[in-house]
Amino acid sequence: MYEVTRGVPQPLGATPDATGVNFSVYSESAYYVELLLFDRHDSPTPSHVIRLDPDNHRSFHFWHCHVAGVRPGQIYAFRADGPRDTEHGGFRFNPNKVLADPYARGNDKTLWDRAAATGDGDNVATSIRSVVLDPDDYDWEGDEPLRRPLSETIIYEMHVGGFTRSPSSGVAHPGTFRGVIEKIDYLKNLGITAVELMPVFDFDETEVLRTLPDGTQLRNYWGYDPFGFFAPHSGYCTQPEAGSHQREFRDMVKALHAAGIEVILDVVFNHTSEGDHRGPTISFKGLANETYYHLWAPDRRYYMNFSGCGNTLNANSPVTAKLIVECLEHWVREYHVDGFRFDLAAVLSRGPNGVEMDVPPVLWAIELSEVLAETKIIAEPWDAAGLYELGDFPGKRWSQWNGLYRDQIRRFVAGEPGLVGSVAARLAGSADLFAERGELATNSINFITAHDGFTLNDLVSYNYKHNEANGEGNRDGSDANYSWNCGIEGPTDDPAIEALRARQIRNFVTILMLSRGVPMLLYGDEVRRTQRGNNNTYCQDNELAWFDWTLLDKNADVLRFFREIIAFRKRFQTLREPKFFSGETNARGVPDVSWHGTRLGQPGWDDPNARALSLTLGGLGDDPDLHVLLNMFDLGLDFELPQYPGRRWLRAVDTAKPSPEDILPAGSEVPVDGSSYHAYGHSVVVLISAPVEGR
């Protein structure tokens, strides 16, 4: 028998020390809590059951004990019993249910059966179990978060599993954290500075969302359905049954940092995998359902669904806010993570009654945390129930996914007229959204595509979504794609249409890299990854959503363009300046920005037919000036060029030209003769000023 003593209430979770492990869990309304210890990860029953005495092992909200002799690697779980009044109190205690630790550093799902966790019966033989892990058992070899300024950041959003799961990846450990390590050279050569990993908190990848008529089971692929906020997803580990969670994730972070690449996590604090009143009891429901979730006031059996996923975490209740902040600090301290992107972050603005708060405690606690002070925090500033906070998100240093940038640039490049004023605002860092609040251009995360929607290839290949494979009658996914198929829906062998599509892809990424703010790319866009028109592959753990590594050779010209345009952005400070344009001139008397149309000084802000815009960017410091031409008419146009004494223009980018003339590396730019430049229809041109030879 183990020696069990009182232990301490803080920190929550399982904390090893020199003699054993301290266990602590929150459950304010429980009558009793039991700690279950299992000999093995696949043991059907516990070898020891320790009932915690409320007089000795309870401190207000927390149940705790110290168990001498328990070591890291121990498999454990909880049971709890308490009130059963779901209608009025919202309590869902059931002593038959085995509960994972909300603060567990690792979990094992070897025996997990989601259906058994849903009914009233005992599920001990098929439960999720937690694993005691030692946070100090690792050699970081001097690694620490990179702390790169946001203005120097280029984000690459990717799915850990989908990045290497295809057999074409050729990695030894496909679909895992180790698989990512094997592809770091590719990421480094691409030039991105940060990976934004779609959810890596532990989630239930076994959950069958629906079964198609042919028997195909569609499962939770994306991972936006967590239950283990402190634990790396066991499905991305090669040996989760051996407690490899910490080591394998840390290995990946350390290797990425060594390559100069930051790690940003896409985190989901708006809901959990436990779903609505019909969903399973995994952890939170069985410990403190009434605390952790927004419940429907008239009948607290039911959940408020601001997330669109069945339940909503009550993020601004003190205990949930504590969990969220401690979770983030845990990932920074213990895993050296560089930043977080918050899924449906507007949910975190909602108070205990579900109404938007002016000063949400949890968001300000994140912003003001000393541990998170140099950590990137990025909000998706809306939720599934209509709360939209782009440009008005609480706090000051939060960067925000700029959905307006995505939509207006898509519409402009597709050829919609009358948008040049809006496009100028997006190119300039969206000062109309952020400047009045005293924020910066780096508060804007600029993107054209993301996991949620078309890939870049599909954006120029489909007018409509094609989500039939999801089994929802093509009703899922957004209908507001602002896409243009360039003349034919889907794949084609027509060389003219293929050339136009490739040019449109180059247009999009060029505009993205020329815009002030923080650019974000979707993984695989650089090689024209396609999802065959599916804009919502949340349930497609197959070739439809995986990175196809054969595309590196097939679309080598597009990959080259992406590498070069990323390198181009890194060369010029004016493209990375975190501040908004102010009209200040450089040493040559060139303003930081001047707006034009085809004629200088005439941008056509009020022209409802305008589809062309040009701008001059005054170089900062020793940087040369840049001149940009954007022509989204079908036909070519002649653009006047500004003339400066002793200077001439060199062509660096012309997306209408064939590779490798479409973008020229530093030092190989081509002189431009005359006072105008002919930009072909649907093209972007970038010129660099240089001294006239001999002056």
Active site residues: 343, 380
Phi then psi dihedrals of residue 360, to 5 deg: -70, 120
Phi then psi dihedrals of residue 641, to 5 deg: -110, 135
Rounded to an integer, what distance in angstroms lies between the CA atom of residue 11 and that of residue 28?
16
The total of other beta-carbon atoms located within 10 Å of residue 464's CB is: 14
Q: By three-state DSSP, how is residue 441 classified?
A: helix
- What's the one-letter identity of residue 19? T
Nearest to 78 by CA among 23, 3, 141: 23
DSSP string, 114-151: TGGGTSSS--GGG--EEE---TT----TT-------GG
Buried b (16+ CB within 10 A) or exposed e, 498-525: eebbbbbbbbbbbbbbbbbbbbbbbbbb
SS (H, E, C) 304-348: CCCCCCCCCECCCCHHHHHHHHHHHHHHHHHHCCCEEEECCHHHH
Phi then psi dihedrals of residue 278, to 5 deg: -95, -5
Rounded to an integer, what distance in angstroms lies between the CA atom of residue 393 and that of residue 137?
39
DSSP string, 17-49: -SSEEEEEEE-TT-SEEEEEEESSTT-SS-SEE
- Tokens at 477, concatenated: 């996914």
- What's the one-letter identity of residue 489? E
- Tokens at 72, concatenated: 């890291």
Give the contacts of 397 (CB within 8 A, at least 6 positions apart): 367, 377, 443
Contact 200, 259 (CB under 8 A): no
Kindly list the distances between the CA atom of residue 112 and the CA atoms of 41, 133, 275, 285, in Å, as whole numbers in the listed order: 11, 20, 17, 17
